[in-house]
Amino acid sequence: MGRRPEVAIVGELNVDFILEGVPRDLPEERELLASNFTMTLGSSSAILAHNLALLGTSVSFSSRIGPDPLGEVCCQWLQQAGVEIDHIRCVRNGSNTGVTFILPLVTTRRSITYPGAMFEMGIEDLDTAYLASAQHFHLSSFFLHRTLSPHIAGLFAAMKRNGLTTSLDTNDDPQDEWDSGLKTVFPELDILFCNERELLKIAQMENADAAAEKVSAAVRMLIVKRGARGASVYSQGQRMDGPAISVQVQDTVGAGDTFNAGFLHRWLRNAPLEECLAFGNLAAALSTTRPGGTEAFKDSGYRERFLAEHSSRGPQLQL
């Protein structure tokens, strides 16, 4: 069904409710006020899909939602960005679509997720033959796929057998166990994305350089996102650093997922790693300038101006 996408993404789909200006302490029995509210597309996988499609890569998204308005609005947002959504299954007798409440602080944030349908997405919700028709396969939020979890390594292996390139972003493990068979997926990966905190957890180490050395020995390419310090690529025993772009940050929600979008957009076109890294940092910087992970990308005039203006200052980037 539908045309063959360049990138097939499997992942969770929920809405972000972002409440800005909430006090750091949350006393009981008080009417606390937020200074701004944004309801926008949430989920690491969905933010990546949305922004990658708007950069010009063709993307399909496979997921499971509940029969409720939140699931419907997520599908509309993805479709408006040009994402192929025929493989999002709406299941009537399961849980509703999940939600995340985000309370941004200055450089950090509080985040609470009700997983809903994402905990119930199973292998039977996915059309593996369709996924295998893409050129690249990606899955985000490894630890949020409770039902799919035992099948994830097999899914990646099947995609590799079919000749696809693959990538995974672990994101956080809410159980803080950092296992669930993650290492069995490593041999099937072309790219492992994580942030610095996640890297330490995956490696079970306290030193970031030692952790990167250990994890990069187990995957073809490791990418570590370092917030305002940019990101690093580890590939074939070499490390390459790319600085972040200096911008007026509104919030960093979804910046990591948008970095993945920028990096993959260039990597899938065989750009040199330096350029992939620079474009990942550029896309991520754009995402930090508006609330949530997709608001800055939705505004096409703003997006194109930002990308053109900043790429003319950095290494030669082909948009």
Footprint of Mg ion on this chain (CB under 5 A)?
Answer: 171, 256
Q: Which of 47, 45, 54 is nearest to 307 (CA)?
A: 54
247 is in the binding site of which of ligand ATP, Mg ion, none (Cβ under 5 to 8 A by kind)?
ligand ATP
From candidates 227, 250, 278, 297, binder to ligand ATP by CB under 6 A? 227
Subset of residues 283 to 302 that bind ligand ATP, contact rule: CB under 6 A = 284-285, 288
Neighbours of 8 (CB within 10 A): 28
From candidates 117, 231, 264, 278, binder to ligand ATP by CB under 6 A? 231
Judged by CB under 6 A, which stretch of 54-62, 81-89, 280-288, 310-318 contacts ligand ATP? 280-288
Judged by CB under 6 A, which stretch of 49-57, 93-101, 241-249, 296-304 contacts ligand ATP? 241-249
From candidates 60, 167, 170, 171, binder to ligand ATP by CB under 6 A? 171
Q: Checking DSSP bridges between strand 98-104 and strand 109-114, what pairing results, if any?
A: antiparallel
The 21-50 contact track toward ligand ATP, x by CB under 6 A, reads -----------------------x------
Residue written as tokens 């905990």?
119
Q: Which of 128, 142, 103 is nearest to 18 (CA)?
A: 103
Least distance (Å) between residue 302 CB and ligand ATP? 17
| Category of 103 on φ-ψ map: left (φ > 0), alpha (ψ -120 to 50) or beta | beta
Indicate the residue among 66 and 256 with the shorter CB distance to ligand ATP. Answer: 256
Judged by CB under 6 A, which stretch of 23-31, 61-69, 202-210, 245-253 contacts ligand ATP? 245-253
The CA distance from 246 to 315, in Å, is 15
The CA distance from 303 to 116, in Å, is 32
Q: Which of 149, 154, 122 is nearest to 137 (CA)?
A: 154
230 is in the binding site of which of Mg ion, ligand ATP, none (Cβ under 5 to 8 A by kind)?
ligand ATP
Indicate the residue among 211 and 231 with the shorter CB distance to ligand ATP. Answer: 231
* Helix, strand, or coil (residue 200): helix
Helices (H), 100-207: 128-131, 149-161, 182-185, 196-203
Using CB under 6 A as the binding rule, whether residue 63 contacts ligand ATP is answered as no
Q: Cα 207 vs. chain centroid, distance in angstroms? A: 25
Determine contact, residues 78/85, Cβ cutoff 8 Å: yes
Binding site for ligand ATP (CB under 6 A): 44, 171, 195, 225-228, 230-231, 244-245, 247, 249, 252, 254-257, 259, 281, 284-285, 288
